[in-house]
Structure formats: structure tokens, C-alpha cells
Amino acid sequence: MTTELQRLIDGLGRRLQRNITVDDWRLRQLAFSSHEFGGVDRLRELSILKREVPSGAADWTFGAGAKTADGPFRPPIAPEIGATMQRLCVPIRQEGVLLGFVWILEGDDPLTDPETEAVLAALDTIAIAIQRDQLAHELHKSRSRGLLRDLVATDDPRAREHAAAELIDADLFVASEPVVAVVVTLHPGEPALLDGERNVLDGWLERIGARLLDRRHVSLIRRDHGLMLVSDKDPLVSGAAKQSLLAELVGNLSRDLTGVEPVVGIGEPVDDLRDFYRSYQQAAHAARVTRLADGFGQVTSFDRLGVYGLLSRIPPEELTVHALPPGLRRLLEAGVKGEQLADTLEAFLEHAGDVQAAAEKLFIHRTTLYYRLQRIEEYTGAQLALGEDRLALHLGLKIARLIGLRHD
């Protein structure tokens, strides 16, 4: 839907035959002229493609006096951030409060005095449009988030069904596209988020959403994690783009928040909004496993969890050392020697009992491996020739990783 602000900027761009962009006071892009007039530089391309300014542009803008300027000014050319064409920046204020900036790409053809006066004459109307759009956005966001909260309600299927229907009927989310859940946690053990953490996480989820297509994303901050509902058909987050975007999110959170260890879990797509809760559960499991088990990195989708996807469904209060087979507990409690034998057991089981392959993995002789396997049977009381005993020990080793008793 074209907003009043967008119509104003399109009209002003056509009148001046210039490329125009409007940002809020934090330099988040609000609108840009739909038609290109003449050449553009890399900074404008990036701001339109990514819907935000590249790294370094904020320092460049505010360093040129953007926050305190009481009228139009021209920041210096800055090739290092892609600003290779001259711009006119016009602050937008309402009763002394800075709302944002109008950017006009001038190049080698500065605005004439009458053109500048036309821009200044439009500022009050632009300011009112920004405030209206911001109010509409907040109302839209509040309603969408409330429905998303109902969509993941654990104990009320009727609330989930109503929320799914309302999101579509109210034109808050696109119909008939598969959706996927993204869960972001910041700390091991998932304690309640601090106010500052909530604000930063919310801000970055909003900035990601601003780069996606309209009506294809909703974000929500819950007690101990962030959640996104995303259309799996949005080309901006399809395939490898989803992993890249979320890896960028992790990097930004790590930079802006000290002492956090952000991880992201991604659920599997579901065809119906009413089933979104299933993807949400999977994303939560993926985030949990990503944090507890080695080898997954910081962004993991549920379909990559393997056996951990099954084990993660065990309630956390049940996943303790007491869930391990007693014999395996004795082995893991046997100090350095026990750890060595556990490594041997895991290599043997991971290679389906192939002695030669396991010995090569461990860089030991087969005779040494046979000796260690005998010692393992003595410690655990298991018979490695029995499939049921091998399965119990293998699952026990996986659980030991989930509860932090073993690491690579």
C-alpha cells in the first residue's frame, strides 16, 4: 500500500526531477522516489536495496552536523561509503523535535534557490505524513504482535486458529504462502531478557523486517527470546539468503550487546498459518541444540539437527545426568581416562562398529582400539556386540553433549 509520505516524495521528485530519499532520525529509510532521475551512486543503491544505510554512513551524516543543523546543508563527498555524488540534506523538524531527513541527490547540478524553497515549503506536510505513518505503523505492529502471540499459544488451538484468520482477514499477513519461524536467544539457560537486551533485539528484528517484503514478516520479543514469523516465499529470505541475513543479525547483536552469545534456530516451513506453532517449536529446539551441542555454529535450521532433533523434545528438566545409562555415567565420571574411552566409544559408534575406520579416526592401532573397547565394556557393563546396548550408549553420548558433559 502506497503511503501518504511515499506519494509526497514521488511528487516532489517528479517536480524537481531529482532522486529523493527520506530517513527517520535514526537514518532508517522511510521512503524514496520511485523513479530514477539521472545517475545514482553506490550509497543510494545500497540504501534502497538494503533499506538501511551501510556501515560508516551514520558517522558521516552526524559528523557533518545533521542532528544540530537548522537548515539545508551538504555533507562532504565520501567515496569510502559510496557517497560519490553531492547531496543536499534537509532536516525535518516538528516543534523543534528532529523527525528525520530529506536527502536530495544533486551531483554536479545544485538545487536552485526556488527549488530549495519548494523543498522547505513541503517540510511541514512531510513531517505530518511521517507522524501519521509512524502512528499507523505502531498500531499495525501492535495488532500483528498480539496475533502472533496468540498464534504460538501452547494450550489454546482455537486462539491459534482465530489469530491465523485475523492476520489474513485484516490484511496484516499475506495468504496462501508457507511460513517459517525464527527464534533468537542471547544467553545459555535462556534467562529473562534485560530491558536493554529487549530493546536492542527488538530494534534489529525490526531492521531486518524493514528489508523484507510487506505483509510477510512479524516480530515479537518474548520473555527470554525473540521470534519472527516470516513468509518462506519472500525472495529476500529464500535459500542461502536466509542464513546470510540471520548470520548478519547474530553479528550485529554480538557487537551491540556485551556479554551475549546469540544463537538462531529456524523451524521447517508449514503451509498454513494455523500450523505455525509447529515451526515455532522446531525453531526453539534448534536454538536450544545450537547452544548446547558442538558443531552447529550460531545459526541452525531444525532439519540439520539429526538425532538431536528428537532428543531436544525431551523436557529440559528431564535432560540431566540421570537420563544417561548408569554404565555410561560411570565412564564419564572416570576422569581423563574415562574421557578417552568415551571418545573411543563415540568414534566406534559413529562409524557403525567399523574397527578400521574408528582406529583411523582416532589415529591409533586396531589392537589399541580392541583393548579400549574391552575396557569400555568393563566400565559400562554393556555388550557392544548387542545392537540395543550400542543404541543406548550412542543416545547417551548425544544426551551428554546436550547437557554439556562432553564437547569436541
Mean pLDDT of the chain: 90
Q: 320, 250, 258: which is closest to 287 by C-alpha?
A: 250
Residues constituting the chain: 408
Residue with cell 516524495: 9
Phi, psi torsion values for 9, nearest 5 degrees: -70, -40
Res 121 pLDDT > 90 = yes
Give the pLDDT score at 308: 85
Q: 209, 201, 220: which is closest to 276 by C-alpha?
A: 220
For residue 18, the SS3 value is: coil
Give the pLDDT score at 72: 95
Return the CATH number of the domain spanning residue range 4-129.
3.30.450.40
pLDDT tens digits for range 343-354: 999 999 999 999
| Listed ranges 38-42, 113-117, 129-133; the one with the highest mean pLDDT | 113-117
Res 1 pLDDT > 50 = no
- Sorted by where each begins, the domain ranges of the chain are 4-129, 177-311, 318-402
The predicted model gives 325-341 an average pLDDT of 91
| Rounded Cα distance, 107 and 118, in Å | 19
Return the CATH number of the domain spanning residue range 177-311.
3.30.70.270
- Is CATH 3.40.50.970 the classification given to domain 318-402? no
The answer to whether 177-311 and 318-402 have equal CATH topology is: no
Cell numbers given for 221: 520479543
Res 238 pLDDT > 90 = no
| Rounded Cα distance, 233 and 246, in Å | 16
Alpha helices (H) in 36-112, listed in sequence order: 42-50, 57-63
**Number of alpha carbons in the 13 Å side-chain half-sphere of residue 133:** 22
Give the pLDDT score at 52: 64
pLDDT tens digits for range 250-260: 999 999 999 99
Burial 256-291 (b: 16+ CB within 10 A, else e): ebeebebbbbbbbbbeebbbbbebbbbbbbbbbbbb
Sign of CA dihedral 231, 233, 235, 241: positive
Cell numbers given for 399: 544426551
Residue with cell 514469523: 229
User: pTM of the full predicted structure?
Assistant: 0.71
Question: 99 and 24 in contact (C-beta within 8 Å)?
Answer: yes
pLDDT tens digits for range 358-376: 999 999 999 999 999 999 9
CA angle (160 as vertex; 158, 163 as ends), nearest 5: 110
| Rounded Cα distance, 379 and 92, in Å | 74
Banded model confidence at residue 211, pLDDT cuts 50, 70, 90: confident
The predicted model gives 41-60 an average pLDDT of 79
| Rounded Cα distance, 166 and 163, in Å | 5
Give the pLDDT score at 401: 84
- Strands 179-185 and 226-231, sheet pairing: antiparallel
pLDDT tens digits for range 63-108: 999 889 989 999 999 999 899 999 999 999 988 899 999 999 999 9
